[in-house]
């Protein structure tokens, strides 16, 4: 579960996915940016919204299992080596474009 506001949400979400677990985020945009089925947004940002969401997850453990299964399936795409390689490739492409201009 992440806090409201930017804080370290992207890192927490990434760590959660790598751990093969779903997440609850108070930021709907972050939930939408991640693979569907991994995270849930409580529907609002009030304590009552969060309480309802957590109660639903407790009452429906199959939802937690689905989120964890989805996270485990995409976790291999969230590793440091691949991230670094993608970032270096992006820099190289930008440099090539810059030198061609």
- pLDDT of 12 reads 82
- pLDDT of 1 reads 60
- pLDDT of 2 reads 54
The Cβ-side half-sphere exposure at 33, using a 13 Å CA radius, reads 9
Distance, in Å, from the CA atom of 51 to the CA atom of 20, rounded to the nearest integer, reads 23
- pLDDT of 100 reads 86
Q: Is position 50 within any domain? A: yes
Q: Is position 22 within any domain? A: yes
- pLDDT of 78 reads 82
Distance, in Å, from the CA atom of 18 to the CA atom of 88, rounded to the nearest integer, reads 22
| CA distances, 1 to each of 29, 39, 50, 55, 63 (Å) | 15, 9, 10, 14, 15
Q: Is position 36 within any domain? A: yes
Distance, in Å, from the CA atom of 40 to the CA atom of 22, rounded to the nearest integer, reads 8
Q: Is position 89 within any domain? A: no
- pLDDT of 33 reads 76
Distance, in Å, from the CA atom of 63 to the CA atom of 22, rounded to the nearest integer, reads 9
Tens-digit pLDDT profile for the chain (101 aa)?
A: 655 555 666 788 888 999 999 999 888 877 777 777 898 889 888 999 999 999 999 999 999 999 999 999 999 888 888 888 988 999 999 999 888 87
Residue numbers of the domain that contains 16: 9-75
Q: Is position 30 within any domain? A: yes
Distance, in Å, from the CA atom of 18 to the CA atom of 15, rounded to the nearest integer, reads 5
The count of domains in the chain is 1
């Amino acid at each position: 579960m992440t806090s409201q506001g930017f804080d370290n949400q992207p890192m927490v979400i990434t760590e959660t996915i790598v751990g093969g677990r779903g997440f609850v985020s108070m930021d709907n945009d972050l939930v939408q940016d991640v693979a569907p089925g991994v995270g849930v947004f409580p529907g609002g940002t009030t304590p009552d919204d969060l309480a309802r969401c957590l109660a639903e997850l407790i009452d429906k453990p199959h939802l937690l299992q689905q989120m964890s299964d989805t996270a485990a399936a995409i976790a291999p795409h969230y590793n440091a080596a691949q991230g670094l390689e993608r970032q270096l490739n992006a820099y190289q492409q930008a440099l090539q474009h810059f030198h061609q201009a």
